[in-house]
Amino acid sequence: MSTNITIKEKIFVTKPLLPSLLNVENEIREIWNSKWLTNMGQKHNLLENKLKEVLKTPNVSLFNNGTIALLVAIKSLDLPYGSEIITTPFTFAATPHCISWNGLKPVFCDIEPNTMTIDADKIEKLITPNTSAILGVHVYGFPCNVEKIEQIAKKYNLKVIYDAAHAFSTEISGRGIGTYGDITMFSFHATKLFNSIEGGCLTYNNPNLVRKIYNLRNFGIRSEELVEEVGINGKMNEVQAAIGLLNLKLFEKEQEKRAKVKEFYDKHLSLIKGIRIPKIANGVTNSYQYYPIIIEDDYPLTRDDAYTKFKEENIFTRKYFYPACHDYECYKNDLAVKLSDFSVVDNLKHKVLCLPFYGDLKENTLEFICEKLQKGFK
C-alpha cells in the first residue's frame, strides 16, 4: 500500500448520521400541522416504542439529552444523599458530574487493560458502608463485566447503573445491553452512531420505575393539579423524535459500512509493531461507535506525537479519554483519589487514540491514515 495523496478536507473522528432533507421536511410538516411540538407527542411515543424493539428492553424513557437522562437515572434509585458511587475515571466528564450533581460522591476505580471498562476485580476493595451503587461505562461499546458486577451488587446490596453512551444496539449473547443492572443510559448526541441531534434514553426492567421517571423528567407534574415530586425538564421534543425515527431506519446500514472500515483498519494496522487493537469479546455485537487503537511504548512515536502529526495532515483524531476524570481539578484533590491505584488508567490515558470512523470514509483516506501509522509518519 502506497499513497502520495494530500488530505485537503478536514477528516474528523466521526460524522453525524443524517437523513435526507426531503424526509426531514415531511416529518417537520407533520409536526407543524399537528401543532404538538413537545410534551410527549405522537412521534416521541412512537420512538419510545420502536426503541424497545431495537434495544430489546421492556421499558424506554426518552430524554432531551443523555446527561439529563443519567441525572434522572441516578435520582430515580433514591440513593442516600451523600453516599458513594463507584465508577470509572476513563469516561466522559458527564458520568461523574451526574453523580456529583445528585449530591453523591464519585469514587473512582481503575480500569481493565483490554476492554478499558471498570475493573470489576478492583471494585470490592473500594466498597465502604457508605457505598450505594456502582456506575459502569461500556467504553467504546466494550461491555463491562456485567456478571461480576451483578454478583458484587447482590453481595453488598448495591444498585447498578450503566452508561451505554457508546453501546447503542450492543448485545451480549443476544441480550440487549440495556437490560443489565437497575438502569442504563443511552446517548443520542450527534456524535453517536444513532442520533436525534441531541437526546438520550433510559432503559430498565423494573416497571415500577416508569411512573417515577416520567415524573422526574416532567418537573414532577402528573396532571394539571398534581405535582408528585421534585422533577426536572428532561423531555425530548417532537423534532428530535422525528430525526430519531428517521435515523432508526439508517443506523444498521451505517453499521455495515463501519464494519468494512473496521475490517480495513484491522487488516492494515494489526501487524504494526507498537500498535494494539482492542478486541470485542466473543458473543458481543459491536456498536461500531469508535475505532480506538493503543500506541504502545515500542512504537516510534508517542500517542500525542501521532495525534499532532495527524492534525497537521487534516486528520482529526481524539485522545479519548485524556485527561482521565480523576485528573480534573474538581476531583483530583479528593482523598479517595489520592489514595487509589490508577496504574492501568494512568498508563492507557496516554496511549489510546480514536481514529476517524464513519461509513463514508473514502478508501484513499483510510490508506493514507494506515500508511502514516505503518511508516511512523516518516
pLDDT at 160 over 90: yes
- Checking if the pLDDT of 13 tops 80, the result is yes
Greatest Cα-to-Cα distance within the chain, rounded to the nearest angstrom: 70
For the chain, the distance separating the N- and C-terminal CA atoms, rounded to the nearest angstrom, is 15
| Residue 8 pLDDT grade (very low, low, confident, very high; cuts 50, 70, 90) | confident
Residues 75-93 have a mean pLDDT of 98
Residue 338's pLDDT is what?
Answer: 85
The answer, yes or no, to whether residue 2 has pLDDT greater than 60, is no
| Region 14-26 average pLDDT | 97
pLDDT tens, 258-272?
999 999 999 999 999
For domain 252-374, say whether CATH 3.40.50.2020 is its number.
Answer: no
Q: pLDDT band at residue 1, thresholds of 50, 70 and 90?
A: low
Domain map of the chain by residue range?
A: 21-248, 252-374
DSSP string, 178-231: GGSSSEEEEE--TTSSS--SS-EEEEES-TTHHHHHHHHTBTTEEETTEE-S--
Angle 202-206-208 (CA atoms, 0-180°, nearest 5)? 100
Q: What is the tens place of the pLDDT at every residue in 169-203? A: 999 999 999 999 999 999 999 999 999 999 999 99
Residue scoring higher pLDDT (70 or 340): 70
Residue 3's pLDDT band, with cuts at 50, 70 and 90, is low
CA 152 to mean position of chain CA atoms? 23
Residue 7 pLDDT: 75
What span, in angstroms and rounded, lies between the C-alpha atoms of 30 and 246?
14
How high is the pLDDT of residue 335?
Answer: 83
Percent of the chain exceeding pLDDT 70 equals 99
Class of domain 21-248: alpha beta
Element housing 252 (H / E)? helix 251-269
| Residue at 47: amino acid letter | L
Q: What are the tens digits of pLDDT across the range 126-141?
A: 999 999 999 999 999 9
For the cut 80, the answer to whether the pLDDT of residue 343 exceeds it is yes
pLDDT of residue 336: 83
* pLDDT, mean of residues 334-344: 90
| pLDDT reported for residue 98 | 98
How much is the average pLDDT of 130-154?
A: 98
Mean pLDDT over each residue of the chain, to the nearest integer:
96
